[in-house]
């Protein structure tokens, strides 16, 4: 009763409206641990703080701000110094957590339900497709940003003393980011995911001594099944995120404790003055740095939304249901592991798929401990910068080697059909509007002027691909013949190989193609792709493949 009487007296004395304003001000002050309404207005306007400065109290009392320094050196807050890549990687992790929790509500990690749940998310869940696209785009963005963050740190020499351990935790975070993205790759349970993860886990099987045990631990069986899906789900939503959070706080604590390194031009060689910030060089977190960060993250959010809303980003793919008995043509690992797939094409899988990548990441981790050059200036580090340029060049080349364009020779007719209408992904035929796939038999040798413009484009492309694949095979064939003819003392096996090559009519001589489109069921069309060619002195050869396209497949928007 006493409290009520006091409140009643205060209301009578101040008036209800003024009393409510005062209570709101008290609430704001408690929530912000020291900033009242007028302080927030001053922050928004960029006014000087009152004395004593309550904005500094926030950093010592607030749960959200106590890990942030109250001020920074003005040089490290410039966008061109760090590009705020550390902040951006944290933002992507939070974005992945929020969107991932939303998707978890509608998903069950079992082979019987996973694929159907993905379709449900894309069709019957409010904003399901949109959230899934944001989640996938954020995952790929996080891999890129964490990598660029480490590149920036390396090029500026910011891994040197006293930041060696900070760099080491950064390498761990890079590995954890790759693992989190890779573990999520399997969850849609489609062909693209199943076989990409099959490639990845096959490398674990090649690890010396413990390879088989590691693979069994990952998959729970010799091949991917219910146990593997559940394990990858738990890795993706629980164990790896917890590891990232734990290592992140260690990493960020070290960043705050040691300070963000200044531009090398502002320090003497071998010195580190990041923590000694003169009063006239300080830039306070509230409001200046905080405002910059919010504007930066707002811009990034706008870009992400624009990429999805305006269809610039094609969207998170979902291919056919996972089928262990059918390997799609040109199966690839996730793009950030293509460099390892490229290594695998060069030799022994244990050496190239396990030992070499292990040495790469091991060397990356110990760089601060083996680089004894005290200078962070680029002009004083020609060896380090040169090694970085060489490493990036090798990464690009190996990534290209990991694609089907290198050391993958499938039959040319099969290759032509794969380009026109791949087993997985979309391709030109599926990307054509369903209504424009006119029923009929279309031939690359004929004038298809009676067909729709879209069909004419497809048949022109079909004809060009047949010619291109033919020429590619002929060129490779001629190179092999020329190489064997240059051998001075050929072995009997080489002589036989040369004879076989000379007797072979390579490629698709006299090649042409047909595309047959039929109405198969309501809303379903059957598309048959046929490639014909006639080797010299032989009968006509044929390659045929059949596909079905539904009017609700939405391929034309991908």
Distance between CA atoms of 553 and 255, rounded to whole angstroms?
49
Q: What is the pLDDT of residue 536?
A: 83
Distance between CA atoms of 88 and 74, rounded to whole angstroms?
19
Please name the residue that has the structure tokens 């993205």.
181
Q: What is the pLDDT of residue 505?
A: 85
Question: What are the backbone dihedrals phi and psi of residue 442, each rounded to the nearest 5 degrees, phi first?
Answer: -115, 135
Q: What is the pLDDT of residue 314?
A: 86
pLDDT band at 430 (very low <50, low <70, confident <90, very high): very high
pLDDT tens digit string along 478-515?
999 999 888 888 898 888 988 888 888 889 999 999 99
Domain coordinates in residue numbering, the chain: 2-61, 71-332, 412-557
Question: What are the backbone dihedrals phi and psi of residue 3, each rounded to the nearest 5 degrees, phi first?
Answer: -65, -45
Three-state SS annotation for 91-136 = HHHHHHHHHHHHHHCCCCCCCCCHHHHHHHHHHCCCCHHHHHHHHH
Average the pLDDT over 96-100 and give the result.
97
Identify which of 364, 323, 25, 345 has the alpha carbon closest to the alpha carbon of residue 175: 364
Crossing angle, helix 453-485 and helix 492-502, to 10 degrees? 150
474: how many CB neighbours lie within 10 A of its CB? 16
3-state helix, strand, coil in the chain (%, to 5): 60, 10, 30
Whether residue 12 is predicted with pLDDT greater than 90 in this model: the reply is no
Q: What is the pLDDT of residue 30?
A: 87
Average the pLDDT over 356-382 and give the result.
95
Q: Which CATH architecture has domain 71-332?
A: Up-down Bundle (1.20)
Identify which of 300, 305, 313 has the alpha carbon closest to the alpha carbon of residue 127: 305
User: What percent of the chain stands above pLDDT 90?
Assistant: 62
Whether residue 212 is predicted with pLDDT greater than 90 in this model: the reply is no
What is the overall mean pLDDT for the chain?
91
| Radius of gyration over every alpha carbon of the chain, rounded to an integer in angstroms | 31
Identify which of 188, 89, 197 has the alpha carbon closest to the alpha carbon of residue 138: 89
Q: What is the pLDDT of residue 557?
A: 63
More confident residue, 307 or 65: 307
pLDDT tens digit string along 121-151?
999 999 999 999 999 999 999 999 999 999 9
User: What percent of the chain stands above pLDDT 70?
Assistant: 99
pLDDT band at 55 (very low <50, low <70, confident <90, very high): confident
Whether residue 428 is predicted with pLDDT greater than 80 in this model: the reply is yes
Average the pLDDT over 107-116 and give the result.
96
Identify which of 109, 174, 129 has the alpha carbon closest to the alpha carbon of residue 309: 129
Average the pLDDT over 238-245 and give the result.
97
Distance between CA atoms of 505 and 409, rounded to whole angstroms?
16
Distance between CA atoms of 355 and 207, rounded to whole angstroms?
8
pLDDT tens digit string along 461-471?
999 999 999 99
Average the pLDDT over 67-81 and give the result.
92
Query: By the 8 A CB rule, do 138 and 92 touch?
Result: yes
pLDDT band at 432 (very low <50, low <70, confident <90, very high): very high
Whether residue 281 is predicted with pLDDT greater than 90 in this model: the reply is yes
Q: What is the pLDDT of residue 313?
A: 92
Q: What is the pLDDT of residue 451?
A: 81
Cβ-count burial 241-277 (b if 16+ within 10 Å, e if not) = bebbeebbeebbebbeebbbbbebeebeeeebebeeb
Whether residue 558 is predicted with pLDDT greater than 70 in this model: the reply is no
Question: What are the backbone dihedrals phi and psi of residue 329, each rounded to the nearest 5 degrees, phi first?
Answer: -65, 140
Q: What is the pLDDT of residue 356?
A: 95
pLDDT band at 228 (very low <50, low <70, confident <90, very high): very high
Give the pTM.
Answer: 0.90
Whether residue 61 is predicted with pLDDT greater than 90 in this model: the reply is no
């Amino acid at each position: 009763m006493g409290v009520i009487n006091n409140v009643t007296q205060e209301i009578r004395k101040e008036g209800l409206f003024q009393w409510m304003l005062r209570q709101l001000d008290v609430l704001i002050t408690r929530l912000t641990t020291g900033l009242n309404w007028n302080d927030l207005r001053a922050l928004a306007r960029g006014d000087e703080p009152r004395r004593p400065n309550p904005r500094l109290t926030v950093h010592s009392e607030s749960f959200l701000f106590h890990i942030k320094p109250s001020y920074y050196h003005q040089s490290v807050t410039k966008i061109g110094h760090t590009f705020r890549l550390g902040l951006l990687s944290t933002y992507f992790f939070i974005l992945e957590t929020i969107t991932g929790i939303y998707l978890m509500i509608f998903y069950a990690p079992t082979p019987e339900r996973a694929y159907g749940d993905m379709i449900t998310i894309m069709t019957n869940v409010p904003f399901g497709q949109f959230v899934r696209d944001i989640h996938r785009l954020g995952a790929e963005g996080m891999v890129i940003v964490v990598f660029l963050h480490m590149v920036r740190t390396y090029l500026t020499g910011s891994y040197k003393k006293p930041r060696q351990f900070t760099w080491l935790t950064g390498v761990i975070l890079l590995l954890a980011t790759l693992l989190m993205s890779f573990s999520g790759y399997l969850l849609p349970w489609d062909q693209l995911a199943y076989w990409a993860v099959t490639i990845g886990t096959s490398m674990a099987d090649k690890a010396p001594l413990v390879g088989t045990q590691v693979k069994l631990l990952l998959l729970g069986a010799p091949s991917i099944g219910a146990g593997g899906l559940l394990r990858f789900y738990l890795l993706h939503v629980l164990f790896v995120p917890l590891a990232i959070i734990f290592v992140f706080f260690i990493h960020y604590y070290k960043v705050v404790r040691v300070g963000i390194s200044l531009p090398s031009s502002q320090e003497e060689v071998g010195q580190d003055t990041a923590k000694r910030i003169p009063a006239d060089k300080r830039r306070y977190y509230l409001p200046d740095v905080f405002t910059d960060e919010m504007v930066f993250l707002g811009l990034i959010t706008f870009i992400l939304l624009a990429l999805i809303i305006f269809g610039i980003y094609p969207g998170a793919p979902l291919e056919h249901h996972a089928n262990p008995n059918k390997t799609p043509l040109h199966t690839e690992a996730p793009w950030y592991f293509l460099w390892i797939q490229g290594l695998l094409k060069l030799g022994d899988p244990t050496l190239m798929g396990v030992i070499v990548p292990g040495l790469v990441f091991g060397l990356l981790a110990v760089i601060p401990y083996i680089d004894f050059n005290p200078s962070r200036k680029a002009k004083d580090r020609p060896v380090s910068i040169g090694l970085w340029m060489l490493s990036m060049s090798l990464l690009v080349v190996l990534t290209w080697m990991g694609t089907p364009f290198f050391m993958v020779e499938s039959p040319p007719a099969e290759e032509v059909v794969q380009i026109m209408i791949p087993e997985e992904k979309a391709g030109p035929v599926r990307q054509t509007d369903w209504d424009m796939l006119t029923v009929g038999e279309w031939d690359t040798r004929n004038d298809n002027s009676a067909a729709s413009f879209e069909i004419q484009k497809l048949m022109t492309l079909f004809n060009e691909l047949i010619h291109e694949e033919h020429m590619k095979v002929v060129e490779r064939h001629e190179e092999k013949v020329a190489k064997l003819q240059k051998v001075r003392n050929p072995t009997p096996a080489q002589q036989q190989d040369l004879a076989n090559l000379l007797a072979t009519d390579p490629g698709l001589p006299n090649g042409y193609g047909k595309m047959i489109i039929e109405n198969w069921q309501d809303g379903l069309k059957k598309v048959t792709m046929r490639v014909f060619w006639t080797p010299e002195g032989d009968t006509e050869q044929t390659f045929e493949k059949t596909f079905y396209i539904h009017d609700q497949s939405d391929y034309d928007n991908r």
